[in-house]
Amino acid sequence: MAESKVDPRTAGDRPGRLLGGRYELLEMIGRGGMAVVWRALTHGASGFQRMVAVKRVDGSFKGFPEVTAMFVEEARVGAALRHPNIVQIHDFGIDETEEHYLVTEWVEGVHFGEWVLSHVRGRQETPPHLVAAIGIEVLRALDAAHSRLDASGRPAPILHRDVTPPNILIDAGGVVKLADFGMARAMDRGRMTRPDMVKGKLSYLAPELVLGAAASPQSDMFALGIVMWEALAMARLFHAPSDAEVVAMVRDARIPLLDFKRPSLPLGLTAAVHRALERDPARRFGSAREMLLALTQVLRVLPNATDSPVLAHSVAQARARLAQKAAQ
C-alpha cells in the first residue's frame, strides 16, 4: 500500500481534529495568503452544535513572528468590529501545540468571485443593479470600519487593505458580508511587515500603495472599484503574466471605460465606479459613505428590486450554475 503523504502546510490539522476541546475540523475549504480556512463544527453543552469557520496560519509560515503578530492583530481588529455586513469573530485561542486558531461565523453561500464566474459560465451578463446593491453592502461594512471610534469616543479607523472578490461573501439568505481583515491594521498600531511580504493581492492594490504610500479609506474604495469594474466588464482589470507587469499596470492605473465594454450600463453606475478608480486619491470619493450614497442614487432610478430575497434567489441560481458546470 502506498504511503499516505501529509501536506506539511497543514500537518497536524485533519478532518475530525478537535481544537480547544470544542471545534471539530470538518474540511479545508480554502488556502490563500498566509492562512488556511476550515469548515468546522462547534460542540457545546447539551448537544449544542453550530457551524463555524476556523482560520489557521499556513504551515509554511509557522515560525515567522511577523505572521503570528499579524494573525493576533487580525483577531484584535476583528473583535473591535461589530456590524451586520462584517463577518463576526467568535473566538481566538491556542491549541495544545501552541498554535493559534481564529473562529468566525460560517457564511453559507458564495463569494463574489464565484457569483460573477457563475454568470460567465452561464453565458449571462451580471445584473448591474445587483452589482450596485452588493457594492452598497460592502461600503456599509467599510464605512463602519473607517468611522470606528474607540472606547473614549475618539476616531480609531480600521482599513481593510484586502477588498477582493473572495472576501465579499453573499449568504444563502441574500446578506452580504465583508470577510478577512487579515490584511487590516488599526491606525493606532505600527506596521508589521517585511520587504518580501506583500500585504494584499497585487491585482487589487491602489496605485499609491505600490508607490509606497500609506493605505487610506480611498485605497479601500479603489479596491472595491476594481472588484465592481471586473464584475460589470466580466473581465480582469490588472492582469499580466508576471507580478512586475501587474505592478506596472496598477501604478499607471489606465482604466478602460465601462461604457465601451457594456454600453447598456446605467451611466450613474459607471461614473461611480470610474470615480472610485481615479489614479489620484484626492479625486476619488471622500468617504465610503459618499460612494454608498452615489450608488444608492443609481438604484433609485432603476426599476429592479435588490432586496435580500432577490439576492438570495441570485445566490441559489449561481450555486446551481456552478454545480451544473462542475458535474459536466
Task: Give tens-digit pLDDT for 239-277.
Answer: 999 999 999 999 999 999 999 999 999 999 999 999 999
Q: For residue 288, what pLDDT is reported?
A: 98
Task: Say how many C-beta atoms besides its own lie within 10 A of residue 237's C-beta.
Answer: 19
Cell of 14: 485533519
The answer to whether the CB of 282 falls within 8 A of the CB of 305 is: no
DSSP string across 94-137: E-TTS-EEEEEE---EEEHHHHHHHHHHTT-PPPHHHHHHHHHH
Structure pTM? 0.90
3-state class of 57 per DSSP?
strand
Mean pLDDT is lowest, of 34-38, 117-121, 163-167, 259-263, for 34-38
- Whether the per-residue pLDDT at 193 is higher than 60: the answer is no
Q: Check if the beta carbon of residue 262 is closer than 8 Å to that of residue 232.
A: yes
Instruction: List, for residues 145-163, the tens digit of each pLDDT value.
Output: 999 998 899 998 999 999 9
C-alpha cell, 38: 476550515
pLDDT at 97: 85
Give the C-alpha separation, 285 to 276, whole Å.
6
Catalytic residue among 13, 162, 171, 180: 162
Q: What SS3 state is found at 186? A: strand
Asked whether the predicted pLDDT for residue 284 surpasses 80, the reply is yes
Cα–Cα separations (whole angstroms), residue 137 to 5, 55, 144, 176:
43, 24, 11, 6
The mean per-residue pLDDT over the stretch 169-181 comes to 95
Q: Please name each of the domains of the chain with its CATH number.
A: 14-105 (3.30.200.20), 109-325 (1.10.510.10)
DSSP designation for 155:
B
The verdict on whether 196 is a catalytic residue reads no
- Radius of gyration over every alpha carbon of the chain, rounded to an integer in angstroms: 20
